[in-house]
Structure 1
Amino acid sequence: MKIATAQMMGKIDRYCIDILGIPGIVLMENAALKVMKNIPEDTMKFVIVCSSGNNGGDGLAVARHLLNREKYVEVFFLGSEENMSGDAVVNLNIIRNMGVKIIKINNNEDLKILKESIVKCENTIDAIFGTGLSREVKGIYSLAITIMNDNSKFILSIDVPSGFECNSGKVMGNCIRSNKTVTFELYKKGFLSYDAEAITGEIVIENIGIPKGVVDKFQEYEYVMDIDFIKRLIKKRNKCSHKGDYGRTLILAGSLGFTGAAYISTQAAVRSGAGLVTLGCDSSIQNILSGKLVEAMTASTNDEKILDSLIIKSDCIAIGPGLGNNMGTLNLLEKVLLNSKCPIVIDSDGLNVLQGNLEILETKKYQIVLTPHMGEMARISGFSIDEINENKIEIAKEFAKKHNVVLLLKGFNTIITDGKTVQINPTGSSAMASGGMGDCLTGIIASFISQGYDIMTAACAGAYVHGYAGDKLSKKMFCVNANHILEALPSIIKEIQYLE
C-alpha cells in the first residue's frame, strides 16, 4: 500500500480534475458509494454531521444514498454555506430538493438537538474535516465533536477522523474517535503514528476511480508492506539445491551473562534457512553455546586467524547481540568493516559502540543494515526519542541516505529505508514485547542476505516474517517469546510462500 500526505492527495485531486478532466463531482460520488459499501444493510438510523468542504460534500452524497435506501437520516451542518465548494453545493441542493431538513449548528440549543438525535440513532457519520485540516479545532466545531464522541453508538469517519492531522497523526485540539475510517485511494501518513488506531478505529482503503498512473506520478516511494508483497519476495527453493546454495552466515554475538542473545540470533539464522551458520563468540562462553547449538557451528573470536578466515568466507555477517558496549566490541566492528567481503547487519551493542563513532561506517566495503530500536537510534543519531517519534520517517530516511545504509527502525510500524524508498512493516504486536526479539530479527535478516536476497529485500522480508509469526502465535498465546518465534519460523515462511 502506498502512503500519502495531505499535499500529495491535493496534487492527485487537482491533476485528475484540471488535467484529466474528471469532474470533482464524479470523485465525490464515487467516494460516497464506497462509504455506502462499508455501511451494514441492517443499520437503519443515521446522523450525518457535515461542514462546508469537500468532506462535507461526501457526507451529503452519502445522506442521499441512505435516503434512497429508505433509511432514517438526520443531517447537521457546521459552518457557512457561502464557503462551500461547488461540488458540495450540488449535493446540498439535491438533499434539500428531496425535502430533507438540514439542521445548522450555531449555538448550544443546536448542540442539544444534535445530542438528542445521536442518542436515538445507530450510526454517526463524521464528514466535518478531511485531509486538508491544518488549524486547531475550536469553538462550536470542538463542542460538536465532543458530543459526537460522548453519545454515538458507532462512528464512521469519511477519509480521516475530523480533527486528525493527516500527515503527523496529531490531534488538532479535538478529534473524532472513530470506530471505522473509510479513506480513499492511499493510506494516510498520519495513520502510522503510535496512537492513531485509538482515533481511526478500523481503516478501510477504497478506490474512487483515480487512475494508477496519476498516483504513480505523485508518489513519494513510501509504502506499507502487505502479505502479497512479501510473498513475491520470498524465493521458492530448487529441489536440486544444497546447503552451499543458501550461504554462510557468521554471527558475532554474546558475552558472559548474555549467552541468550548469541543463541537466539544464531538459531534464528538456522531456522530461517541459511545453509551454514557459525557463531563467533568469546572463548569464555564457547562451550556453553556449543552445547546448546546443534545445527550451527561455533568458533572463538579470540583466535585471530580463525576469525579472519570466517570474516572473509562469509556471505553475511551479523554483529552486536549481547557483545557488550565496550572497546572490544568497537574493535571487532572495525575489523569486520575493514575486512568483510559481504553485507553486514549491525544490531544491539554493535550499534551502541557507534555512538560518537559513526565515521567508521565510512570504512565499509560492502552494504550495511542497521537495526536500532528507539533508544539506540537516539544514541547514534543525536535526536531525542520524542523527536524521533514525531518525525520517524523523515529522520530514518535522512540517516540512511547520509550514511548510505539500510536502516530498520524497530518499534510500532517498523520503518525500513535505504534513504529513497520507505517500507513500513505492519506486523507484530505488544505480545512480542520481551527480551531476545531483536536478536531473533537480526538472525533472520542475516540469513536472508546469505541466501542471496539484496539487503533491502532481506530487511523487509525479515521484519514482516518476524512480526507475522508473532501475530499468528499471539492468537492463542498471551505473550510470545523469542523461542516461540524460532520454533515457528520454518512453517511460517512456508505458509507465506503458498498463501492463496
Structure 2
Amino acid sequence: MDKPEILQSFCVTAQQMQAIEAQIFAAGFPVAALMEKVAGRIADYWLKDWPQSQNVIVLAGPGHNGGDALVVARELHLHGYNVSIYSPFEGYKPLTADHGRYCRSLGIPWYQTWTELATPLGSLACDRILDGLFGFGLSRPLEGELAKVIDRLNQSPIPIVSIDLPSGIHTDSGEALGTAIRAETTLCLGLWKRACLQEAAQPYLGHPVLIDFDIPLTNIEAVLGLEPDVQRLTPEKALPTLPLKRPPLAHKYTVGQLLVIAGSRQYGGAALLSGHGAMASGVGMVTLVVPASLRSLAIAQLPGALVIGAEETAAGAIATLPPLDWDRYHTIACGPGLAQVSWLTAVLNSPVPLLLDADGLNGITAAQLTNRQGITVITPHPGEFRRLFPDLISGHDGAIMAAQTTGATVVLKGAKVAIANNHQLWLNPHSTPALARGGSGDVLTGLMGGVMAQQVAQQGLTNLATVVTDAAMGAVWWHALAGLYAHKQRTILGVDPLELAHCLNPALADYLANGIMPEIIAG
C-alpha cells in the first residue's frame, strides 16, 4: 500500500492531530512554511476545480485556520480572482495577523461587519465562499453576531468550501457547537478528522476531500502507532477480506455452507432479501429456514438455495426449528423478519460462527452474547443497540465497549457503519442515503453471512475471530459499494433492496476493472 492509500485509512482526534503537528514543528519545519504549503494546496485545488468561481468571499478566523484562508485569498487575488475578506475579530495569532496585513496591502477588500458583507451576498455577486473561520480543535459554541452570520450564510444559495472542517463542528464528535457552516465541500487537511466519520457532522460536510500536505509517516505512526485503534475502512483494506480467489478444485461444499434462519408470514420479504444477499455473495451452499407457508415462494425466487419449511405459529412465525446438523455449516445468519424467537437458545448453543440481526438481536440479552462459546457478529441499528446495551453510551465508543464486554464483533449500522471488535474500530466512509430503504439491512445480513461462510471454509479455524471480523468489514464495504453503484445508475430513488442485491456483483466487477468508487456528491 503506497502512502496516499495509507493516509486514507487514518482518522484522528484533535489531540492526535495536535501531537502530530507538534512533532513536525519540533523537527524544525516552520509553522509559516506549513501554512504556505497547506494554503498552496488548497489554492491549487480551487484553481483546478472552480476556475469559474471568480468572485470569492473568504471568511477568515483569528487562528491558523484563518491564516490558511488569508494565504488562499492572497493566491486567488494574484491569479486574478475578485476576492473579498470577512473577518469580524479584533485579536489574531501573530502569523495570521501578518497575512491579514499583507492582504490589505494588496488592496483586497476587508469587511468586519455583516452589513458590509450583505450587499455582495444580496446581489449574488459572490460565486463561492471559502470558510476559514475555525478549523479542528474548536471546543466552544459559536454565539452572538457570528452565529447569526453563519445562519444567514447557510440560508444563501452560494456554495461554501470549508477548510479542514466546517466552522462550528467539533473535531471528534462531529456535533455542531451552537451553529455550524453547512459546506458544499470540506477540504480536510493532512489526515481525516474523526468528525468526518461521525453521523452528526454529515449534514455539514458536503463532499469531503483529503488535502495531503506530505506529513511524514514516521510522525503519524509515532502518535497513532502502526495499527491505530480507529481507522477508516478503505477499499485497500476491504478487498483482501473478500473471497475473490478459489482453488481450482473447489466445489460447493468447500466454498462455504451458510444457514439462514429468517422470515415470518408478516415479514416474508426479509427472508427472501436475505436469501438474495446470500446468493450474491458467491457462497457455495445456502440453506434457508423459513415458516412452512413461505417455502414455495422462497423456492420460486431462490432456486439455488435449499429451502426448509419450519413448523409455524398461528401468527405465521417459526414455532420450532427443524432438525439441523449444525456442524455442517460454516456460518449461521439469523434474525431478519422472524417476529418471535422462542427457540433461539438452540442457535446460541451452536459452536458455529453466528451472525445475529433484527429479531435475532431482539430475542437475546447482552449476557447471552457474553456467555456464548462461539464467534458472534451482531448488526444492530442504534435503537437495537440501546435496547441490548442500555448501560452503554451510544455511538462509536459504545460499539467498542459492547465488543469488549461481550467478545462479539459489533457492526453498528447507520449512515456511517462502524465495525468494532475488542481492540479496534473501523469506520466505513462510503455510503449513500439511497440505502435508507426497508430491506437494505436484510440484504446485508445475507451478504455478510455468505462472505463469512466462505472465509471460514477457506481459512479454517485458525484466528477465527479475525477471519470473521474481516469478513464483516468486507461485506459492509461491498454493500455500500453496491448502494453507490445503484444510486449512480438509478438515482437516489431507485435503489430498492432487490435492485441492491442485483447490483452487488456488477458493482464489484466494475470496481475490480476500474478501481474507482462511484462518487455521489452530496447536496
TM-score of the two chains, using structure 2 as the length reference: 0.84
The change in CA–CA distance for 1:174 and 1:307 in structure 2 (over 3 A counts) is same
The change in CA–CA distance for 1:162 and 1:308 in structure 2 (over 3 A counts) is same
Deviation at 1:383, TM superposition (A): 6.0
Q: Contact 1:432–1:479 at 8 Å: present in 2 too?
A: no
Deviation at 1:254, TM superposition (A): 2.5
Deviation at 1:165, TM superposition (A): 1.9
Q: Contact 1:124–1:148 at 8 Å: present in 2 too?
A: no
Q: What is the alpha-carbon distance in structure 2 between the residues aligned to residue 290 and residue 440 of structure 1?
A: 17
Deviation at 1:438, TM superposition (A): 1.7
Residue 299 (structure 1) aligns with: 308
Q: Contact 1:272–1:448 at 8 Å: present in 2 too?
A: yes
Listed as ranges, the matches of 1:186-225 within 5 Å are 186-194=191-199, 196-219=201-224, 220-225=228-233
Q: Which of 221-230 and 415-424 deviates more?
A: 221-230
The change in CA–CA distance for 1:445 and 1:305 in structure 2 (over 3 A counts) is closer
Q: What is the alpha-carbon distance in structure 1 between the residues aligned to residue 307 and residue 169 of structure 2?
A: 53
Percent identity, aligned pairs only, is 26
- Structure 1: gaps spanning 5 or more residues: none
2:343 matched to 1:322? Answer: no
Deviations 1:387-442 (CA, angstroms, capped at 9, x unpaired): 63xxx111111111111111111121111111322222234433333332222111
Residue 350 (structure 2) aligns with: 339
Deviation at 1:306, TM superposition (A): 6.6
Return the letter of the residue paired with 1:208: F
- Paired residue secondary structure (2:29): coil
Deviations 1:336-379 (CA, angstroms, capped at 9, x unpaired): 22232x3110111110011xx32222332221100112221121
Return the letter of the residue paired with 2:194: K
| 2:29 corresponds to which of 6, 13, 22 | 22
Q: Contact 1:56–1:88 at 8 Å: present in 2 too?
A: yes
Residue 410 (structure 2) aligns with: 407
Deviation at 1:56, TM superposition (A): 1.1
Residue 496 (structure 1) aligns with: 511
Deviation at 1:159, TM superposition (A): 1.2
Q: What is the alpha-carbon distance in structure 2 between the residues aligned to residue 325 and residue 218 of structure 1?
A: 48
Deviation at 1:449, TM superposition (A): 1.0
Return the letter of the residue paired with 1:273: G
Deviation at 1:229, TM superposition (A): 3.4
2:497 matched to 1:482? Answer: yes
- Structure 2: gaps spanning 5 or more residues: 1-7, 312-318, 457-466, 516-523
Listed as ranges, the matches of 1:42-61 within 5 Å are 42-61=52-71
- Paired residue secondary structure (1:244): coil
Q: What is the alpha-carbon distance in structure 2 between the residues aligned to residue 121 and residue 431 of structure 1?
A: 32
Q: Which of 285-294 and 313-322 deviates more?
A: 285-294
Residue 486 (structure 2) aligns with: 473
Q: What is the alpha-carbon distance in structure 1 between the residues aligned to residue 506 and residue 57 of structure 2?
A: 48
2:277 matched to 1:262? Answer: no
Q: What is the alpha-carbon distance in structure 2 between the residues aligned to residue 137 and residue 448 of structure 1?
A: 46
Deviations 1:272-331 (CA, angstroms, capped at 9, x unpaired): 11111112344454455345431111335569997341x1111111111222234x2xx3
State how many pairs are aligned: 479
Deviation at 1:469, TM superposition (A): 1.6
Residue 472 (structure 2) aligns with: 459
Q: Contact 1:280–1:307 at 8 Å: present in 2 too?
A: no
Deviation at 1:11, TM superposition (A): 1.6
Q: Contact 1:254–1:261 at 8 Å: present in 2 too?
A: yes
Q: Contact 1:338–1:363 at 8 Å: present in 2 too?
A: no
Q: What is the alpha-carbon distance in structure 1 between the residues aligned to residue 180 and residue 468 of structure 2?
A: 40
Q: What is the alpha-carbon distance in structure 2 between the residues aligned to residue 298 and residue 154 of structure 1?
A: 53
Deviation at 1:130, TM superposition (A): 1.3
Q: Contact 1:162–1:175 at 8 Å: present in 2 too?
A: yes
Q: Which of 445-454 and 213-222 deviates more?
A: 213-222
Q: Contact 1:47–1:76 at 8 Å: present in 2 too?
A: yes
**Aligned-residue CA RMSD (Å):** 2.7
2:437 matched to 1:434? Answer: yes
Q: What is the alpha-carbon distance in structure 2 between the residues aligned to residue 373 and residue 77 of structure 1?
A: 42
Residue 521 (structure 2) aligns with: none
Q: Contact 1:407–1:417 at 8 Å: present in 2 too?
A: yes
| 1:230 corresponds to which of 231, 235, 238 | 238
Residue 173 (structure 1) aligns with: 178
2:455 matched to 1:446? Answer: no
Residue 37 (structure 1) aligns with: 44
Q: Contact 1:368–1:405 at 8 Å: present in 2 too?
A: yes
Residue 116 (structure 1) aligns with: 119
2:79 matched to 1:69? Answer: yes
Q: What is the alpha-carbon distance in structure 2 between the residues aligned to residue 127 and residue 235 of structure 1?
A: 45
- Paired residue secondary structure (2:199): coil
Q: What is the alpha-carbon distance in structure 2 between the residues aligned to residue 281 and residue 451 of structure 1?
A: 22
Deviation at 1:77, TM superposition (A): 2.7
Deviation at 1:102, TM superposition (A): 6.3
Q: Contact 2:287–2:308 at 8 Å: present in 1 too?
A: yes
Q: What is the alpha-carbon distance in structure 1 between the residues aligned to residue 321 and residue 495 of structure 2?
A: 40
Residue 135 (structure 1) aligns with: 140
